[in-house]
Amino acid sequence: MRASSKVIIRRFAISIAIRTYLLLLVLLLGISLILLGWSALARQGEKGLRVYFLDVGQGDAAVLATPSGRIFVVDTGRDNQETGEDMGREVVIPFFHVEGFTHIDALILTHPHADHIGGAATLLENLPCDALVDNGQSENSVEEAAYLAAAYRRHVPRITPLPGEQIDCGDGVTLHFLAPTSAERSGPPNNASVVVRVDYGRTHFLLMGDAEAPEEATLLSEGQSLACDVLKVGHHGSDTSTTPRFLQAVHPKFAVISVGAHNLYGHPSPLVIERLRQTGVKIYRTDRNGAIEALSDGNEVRMVLLCSRASH
Ligand SMILES: [Zn+2]
């Protein structure tokens, strides 16, 4: 065989190898895309209650989507008047766009601190909202004035729920307002946080806002039903909340701590983390895990990290 023929055969072999490699690559890519698409479709098709804990840095923002498509927002993250930062615009509204949510059945603001109400005015200005639920307190802040003005402009009724009141979504999901009491409303805002228990079938979620030991003690003394699958830990995991007696009554499977990385307050407290670990609770943190989804089918809750779409 001539030298030139050998070169041609070698080139031909290399060309075949490259084509086979490329074909395999395309096939693998195709299979991955099909699997990803299938998994996304499977998620969308799954009926159930979804509770999303968004990553808004130091602050709280959760979104509830019920099986019949009713949408509730609990807190909206912070804003910063000087820098123009607004978690409503930067996190919550983009999240709504991704999930295809176009309205809010009720915007629930646990208490009038900026890390909870900072994005509220933006949400009210940009999304149709049926009701504004807050604790009725006033801190006379810029953020509070902004959301009250937005609610007024958009004709959104403002409701201050009493313990024992509830919203029945008509699809198996009920939001129970457990706190604050009238006495708590005249005290410091953290301990006047609107506390909501969300029930769906045999599963329960407890959203604590920034409630601290005194509000936990009131809930315990009133004999409120506190047992839940998922606890949104009070006050970003501060050691002023999640007392041992309270944790014993709640006995969650999962705890979500909504907290900013390297925050100035030292949240969450190592003491609270240790307390949760000793109780056997699996801990999720928005500073480490990013946005977290808790999906309930009415029987059990599955936790999903939205960045990796991995189930736990
Ligand atoms: Zn807070």
For residue range 51-97, what is the model confidence (pLDDT) as tens digits?
999 999 999 999 999 999 999 999 999 999 889 999 999 999 999 99
Closest CA to 51 of 274, 178, 212, 228: 228
> 237: CA distance to ligand 1 center in Å?
10
The CA distance from 94 to 19, in Å, is: 41
Task: Give yes or no: residues 206 and 297 share one domain.
Answer: yes
The reply to whether 181 and 218 lie within a common domain is yes
Q: How many CB atoms lie within 10 A of CB 110?
A: 30
Domain that holds residue 22: 1-45
Q: 139 C-alpha to center of ligand 1: Å? A: 14
Q: Are residues 5 and 56 in the same domain?
A: no
Whether residue 229 sits in one domain with residue 285: yes
Do residues 41 and 187 both lie within one domain? no
Q: How many domains in the chain?
A: 2
> Within this chain, do residues 122 and 222 fall inside the same structural domain, yes or no?
yes
Q: Are residues 88 and 27 in the same domain?
A: no
**Helices then strands, each counted (H, E), the chain:** 11, 18
How remote is the CA of residue 105 from the centroid of ligand 1, in Å?
23
pLDDT of 310 strictly over 50: no
Q: What is the CATH number of the domain that holds 101?
A: 3.60.15.10
pLDDT by residue (tens digit) across 125-155?
Answer: 999 999 999 999 999 999 999 999 999 999 9
In this prediction, residue 214 carries a pLDDT of 98
267: CA distance to ligand 1 center in Å? 10
Q: How confident is the model at residue 276 (pLDDT cuts 50, 70, 90)?
A: very high
Q: What band does 219 get if pLDDT is binned at 50, 70 and 90?
A: very high
CA of 74 to the centre of ligand 1 (A): 12
Cα 101 to ligand 1 centroid, rounded to whole Å: 25
CA of 113 to the centre of ligand 1 (A): 7
CA of 291 to the centre of ligand 1 (A): 17
Ligand 1 center from residue 296 Cα (angstroms): 26
Ligand 1 midpoint to CA 128 (Å): 25
Residues facing residue 104 across a β-bridge:
129
Phi-psi category of 129—alpha, beta or left, where left has phi over 0 and alpha has psi -120 to 50? beta
243 and 273 co-located in one domain: yes
| 254 and 127 housed in the same domain | yes
Residues 142 and 4 in one domain: no
Spatial CA neighbour of 197 closest among 292, 72, 293: 72
**C-alpha 43 – ligand 1 centre gap (Å):** 31
Distance 213 CA to ligand 1 centre (A): 15
Do 297 and 229 lie in one domain? The reply is yes
Same domain, 25 and 116: no
